[in-house]
């Protein structure tokens, strides 16, 4: 799986946005330009009809990450991964 970005990751304001980044197979992401029409439909269904305008607006925001900003992102994602791992292990133990 790849991290597929609806708005290109060169726009730092959306590089780590969980509304802009979703799992995509490598073929779609790398060789089919993210299948943007399908991606747009997915986003609208998941987040509502204003999501494309929201992302388009946010991509214009100038963003510069400090070391502290990046450390906080890493910390948050490590916590999220641990929770996913704990949840997965919990479902395996009780058989569900």
Whole-number mean pLDDT of the chain?
A: 93
Question: 3-state class of 2 per DSSP?
Answer: strand
The half-sphere exposure of 78 on its side-chain side, counting CA atoms within 13 A, is: 6
How high is the pLDDT of residue 90? 85
| Cα–Cα dist 43/45, whole Å | 5
The residue-averaged pLDDT of 77-85 equals: 94
Orientation of helix 51-58 relative to helix 36-47, angle to 10°: 110
| pLDDT given for residue 95 in this prediction | 57
pTM exceeds 0.95: no
Query: How confident is the model over 25-46, as pLDDT tens digits?
Result: 999 999 999 999 999 999 999 9
Supply the pLDDT for residue 94. Answer: 55
């Amino acid at each position: 799986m790849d991290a597929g970005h609806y708005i290109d990751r060169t726009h730092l304001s959306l590089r780590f946005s969980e509304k802009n980044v979703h799992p995509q197979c490598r073929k779609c992401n790398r060789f089919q330009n993210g299948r943007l029409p399908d991606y747009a439909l997915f986003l609208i269904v998941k987040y509502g009809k204003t999501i494309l305008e929201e992302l388009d607006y946010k991509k214009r925001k100038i963003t510069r990450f400090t070391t502290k900003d990046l450390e906080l992102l890493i910390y948050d994602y490590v916590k999220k991964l641990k929770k996913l791992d704990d949840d997965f292990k919990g479902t395996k133990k009780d058989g569900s």
